């Protein structure tokens, strides 16, 4: 399919503005304070913008996100009060700077682990090291025998353990189905175990080279069965043993929000800049991805006054930690003519890492190694960053 004239024109216009925006986001002033009046002056050149975009300014936004997390159970996970307060902060800052702000609500499958435990024969296994509750696992506490399901031991190639209904004998009813990673999805294995009457399920890593550590995964959708993943060593040790498995989870549909702040331009072209705003449940997410969210917010608020050729649209995505859900919802619901206006998209995730390295993606596959060329426009973005 050929590109439309609007898409090509949008891409040309957008790439024309990439250099200034990329410079402001990737070369923030590390030590010097911003000159007076940055909030009120017209930052209409790269040099002026770079003077005003500082680490100090980014840190102020990160501190605000930290305080929000501190006041909301220590995190900013989508579907929680911490995320809602984070979105409200971005809206407040962007509106105060004079940007055009919109929000987009969407539903998503919320999942949270409240308690998890695994023990056998006096051994208490360690969550995160020996085992991990599968995303979308149900809740339950069961003490039963771990019944091996068509295991491939010693490991050789792949395993079809639990992939077929015929793998399960009547003996698994009321017991814990012990399965091995391989071939089919974790969701298929767990669903087959539930259909066979199992009271719980354990899926251990396959045991082949590079696949022996604790298994952390997702069932893909909520399932009314406690399911955990384990390392290969733990899983094989549990064969035919009496095991106590406990999971307490919250799995429900919740609503969260994408936030957009826009600087209208003088042409049809749109340059998008985005970062996910949500954290994981385990912490405040001040690097992942408070750093990216704060960086683009600092640039957005200082870029509100100068005239720009293309519209610059900043996006703060919700539910990224559950699978890019906010960004995917936006693209799936954007009219084709609006999608065609977007010439380029730049994503900023974890830009505060202390062990950073500066690399450029091979957008046009010029080295003919790894993944093929990216979407149209990737080569132009690569050229700007090089």
Catalytic positions, written as ranges: 320
**Letter string b/e over residues 5-39, b meaning 16 or more CB atoms within 10 A of that residue's CB:** eebebbbebbbbbbebbbbbbeebeeeeebeeebe
d(CA 379, CA 386): 11
Identify whether the C-beta of residue 106 lies closer than 8 Å to the C-beta of residue 253.
Answer: no
Identify whether the C-beta of residue 180 lies closer than 8 Å to the C-beta of residue 229.
Answer: no
What does the radius of gyration of the chain's CA atoms come to, in whole angstroms? Answer: 25
User: At 64, is the secondary structure helix, strand, or coil?
Assistant: helix
| Helix-strand-coil split of the chain, %, nearest 5 | 30, 25, 45
The number of C-alpha atoms within 13 Å of 114 and in the hemisphere containing its C-beta is 8
Identify whether the C-beta of residue 13 lies closer than 8 Å to the C-beta of residue 378.
Answer: no
Query: How many whole angstroms from its chain centre is CA 357?
Result: 21
The closest alpha carbon to 314, from 51, 89, 94, 107, belongs to: 94
d(CA 224, CA 243): 19
């Amino acid at each position: 399919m050929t590109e439309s004239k609007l898409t090509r024109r949008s891409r040309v216009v957008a790439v024309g503005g990439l250099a200034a925006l990329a410079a402001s986001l990737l070369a923030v002033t590390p030590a010097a304070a911003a000159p007076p009046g940055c909030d009120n002056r017209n930052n209409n050149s790269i040099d002026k913008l770079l003077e005003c975009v500082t680490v100090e300014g980014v840190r102020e936004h990160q501190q605000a996100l930290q305080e929000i997390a501190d006041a909301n159970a220590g995190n900013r996970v989508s579907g929680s009060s911490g995320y809602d307060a984070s979105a409200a902060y971005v809206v407040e800052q962007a509106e105060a700077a004079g940007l055009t702000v919109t929000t987009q609500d969407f539903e998503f499958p919320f999942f949270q682990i409240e308690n998890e435990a695994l023990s056998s024969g006096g051994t208490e296994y360690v969550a995160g090291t020996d085992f991990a509750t599968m995303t979308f696992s149900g809740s339950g506490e069961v003490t039963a025998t771990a019944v091996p399901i068509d295991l491939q031991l010693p490991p050789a190639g792949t395993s079809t353990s639990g992939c077929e209904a015929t793998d399960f004998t009547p003996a698994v009813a009321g017991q814990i189905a012990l399965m091995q990673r391989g071939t089919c999805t974790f969701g298929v294995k767990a669903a087959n175990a539930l259909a066979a009457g199992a009271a719980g399920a354990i899926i251990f890593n396959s045991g082949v080279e590079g696949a022996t550590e604790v298994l952390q995964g997702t069932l893909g959708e909520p399932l009314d069965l406690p399911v955990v993943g384990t390392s290969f060593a733990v899983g094989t040790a549990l064969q035919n043993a009496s095991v106590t498995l406990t999971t307490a989870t919250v799995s429900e549909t919740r609503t969260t929000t994408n936030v957009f702040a826009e600087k209208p331009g003088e042409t049809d072209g749109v340059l998008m800049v985005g970062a996910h705003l949500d954290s994981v449940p385990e912490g405040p997410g001040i690097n992942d991805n408070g750093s990216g969210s704060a960086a683009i917010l600092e640039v957005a608020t200082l870029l509100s006054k100068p005239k720009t050729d293309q519209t610059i649209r900043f996006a703060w995505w919700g539910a990224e930690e559950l699978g890019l859900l906010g960004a995917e919802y936006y693209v799936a619901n954007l009219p084709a003519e609006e999608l065609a206006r977007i010439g380029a998209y730049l994503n900023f995730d974890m830009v505060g890492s202390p062990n950073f390295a500066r690399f450029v993606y091979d957008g046009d596959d010029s080295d003919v190694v790894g993944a093929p060329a990216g979407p149209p426009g990737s080569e132009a973005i690569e050229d700007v960053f090089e």
